[in-house]
Structure 1
């Protein structure tokens, strides 16, 4: 059931919820949390659908702050969804217009469930520092999605600077199946050290960047991040060890192929995770995701350092110079000037002598 309440107030919406509870038997005592979705009005339905499906695992009150146009008179249009249109939750949609667009926290505050944790989710256009946002400051868990930004890789670097306990990103959540398969593969003999790894994925895939960082941090070996055409997502991981390469690759049919030395190839299910699965997983825990934080702070910089070193070595080879892992460190002198002795021509004899 969907009930529209145009040009209303939060008090009127609360009163309508009480009436529905008394007349229709709707209860909110079983709700375990409040989920606040902050999005634009044009893309709110996909987020609502994902929250409704996830609510069967985590019954909650869903408050959607749908931001409309900033021009015109301030106005709040409310909508209540219950029953089959709300999954196992109750959905309150707050469409804000005019100056109210910038005051979403004040509008939704009276509608929060008492003594229940709050989860904030920005499907698109998240704040620069989620924990300092008025809505993010009220939440124990803050969910963003770097894949929705125009510059996903730059967005991840910004996440490292703005991270606060409770922050997470759906680009990281999408890697759960990949991480599980790779970990289980390395639990099988032979137990050899991984000497290097290559992670291949789309140029606009932040999940590929995060997986490369996770492997660099956990395996403590050089990891190369290779970019393919945009939109392809995660594609393959190659782990190199003495007995041969382990390759986990996924095709467009969401079926993965695992290749290991001296073993027949195995076909594994590795589907692309939808919003429903990712949101449901994030709602299972409300504590800080320490592994995600470590990948941002330690893992991604390790991959970037390895890529810069490879670029320097390639450039030196192209110039016809010996490949070096890094320029020589000197006491402020130019490395090239210290690699060969300086020579000067004697004015008297015309011979060449080494300068001391």
Structure 2
């Protein structure tokens, strides 16, 4: 069910939510958090769809706030989605116009679920310091996605400069399967030390930079970040050891080839993760992601100081 409420106020939206709860049952019962999405009109529906999918694992109230033109008089157009149009959540879409575009937090606050955690997600462009943003300051967790920005590597630099505990980025979440596979490979005999590492990915692939930083921080070895032209994803990782290198190569968007000295090559599932999958993972924890913080603050710097950056043409195994 979708209910449009043009030219309204935050109080009017809250009153309508109460009416829906009284008429159709306790809509907000069992909601574990409030997820606030700060998004442009062009990306709004995709972001809401991803949040709806994530809400099946984390029932929540979703508030999508969309900034319209700052010209003209102040106006708030709202839309409430419940039932089949809202996944396992209730969705409140707020479109601001005129002077209201500069005071969006004043509209969001009255609609937050009382005594519940708040998570803010910027699906595309985000503030340089999310914790200092008026809406970001309301949240325990602040989720960004530099991969969706026009200049991902520059945006990643902004995340480094503006990092505060509670910040995270979906480019980091996309590495969960890669990190688990690498850790599992190292947790097998002969338990040798890694002497060097190499990460190959697209020139603007921020996940490859973060993976290189994570390896530099965890293994304390030189890590080469190779930028392969003509691709946009993460292609391969190599860990050099005395008995031979451990390598993971992903020739397509679904599978990878794991090579370990003395063993047969193994084909493993390593799909590209969707925004909904990454968002659901981030909503599982509301405490600061300390490992991400260490990689952002120390790992990237260590990789730049002890490793190197090279460029090559993409060569993918078929």
Rate the CA distance shift 1:97–1:202 in 2: closer, same or farther, 3 A. same
Query: 1:296 and 1:13 mapped to 2: Cα distance?
Result: 39
TM-score, structure 1 length as denominator? 0.85
Rate the CA distance shift 1:131–1:230 in 2: closer, same or farther, 3 A. farther
Rate the CA distance shift 1:28–1:44 in 2: closer, same or farther, 3 A. same
Q: Which residue of 2 aligns with 1:324?
A: none
Within-5 A mapping of 1:17-96: 17-96=17-96
**Could you say what secondary structure the match of 1:215 adopts?**
helix
Instruction: Report Cα offsets for 1:116-159 as digits up to 9, x if no partner.
Output: 11000111221111111110111000001111222222222222
Larger Rg: 1
Q: Which residue of 2 aligns with 1:115?
A: 115
The reply to whether residue 138 of structure 1 matches residue 138 of structure 2 is: yes
**Could you say what secondary structure the match of 1:72 adopts?**
coil
Q: Which residue of 2 aligns with 1:177?
A: 177
Runs of 5+ unmatched residues, structure 2: 311-318
Query: 2:166 and 2:154 mapped to 1: Cα distance?
Result: 21
Rate the CA distance shift 1:49–1:231 in 2: closer, same or farther, 3 A. farther
Query: 1:58 and 1:49 mapped to 2: Cα distance?
Result: 14
Q: Compute the RMSD of aligned alpha carbons.
A: 1.3
Aligned length: 310
Instruction: Report Cα offsets for 1:288-336 as digits up to 9, x if no partner.
Output: 111111111211112212345x88xxxxxxxxxxxxxxxxxxxxxxxxx
In the TM superposition, residue 198 of structure 1 has moved relative to its aligned partner by 0.5
Q: Which residue of 1 aligns with 2:191?
A: 191
Instruction: Report Cα offsets for 1:147-206 as digits up to 9, x if no partner.
Output: 122222222222222111101111101000000000000001111111111100011111
Runs of 5+ unmatched residues, structure 1: 312-356
Q: Which has the higher contact order (CA 8 A, sep 6+)?
A: 2
Rate the CA distance shift 1:134–1:231 in 2: closer, same or farther, 3 A. farther
Are the counterparts in 2 of residues 157 and 296 from structure 1 also a CA contact under 8 Å?
Answer: no
Q: Which residue of 1 aligns with 2:229?
A: 229
The reply to whether residue 305 of structure 1 matches residue 305 of structure 2 is: yes
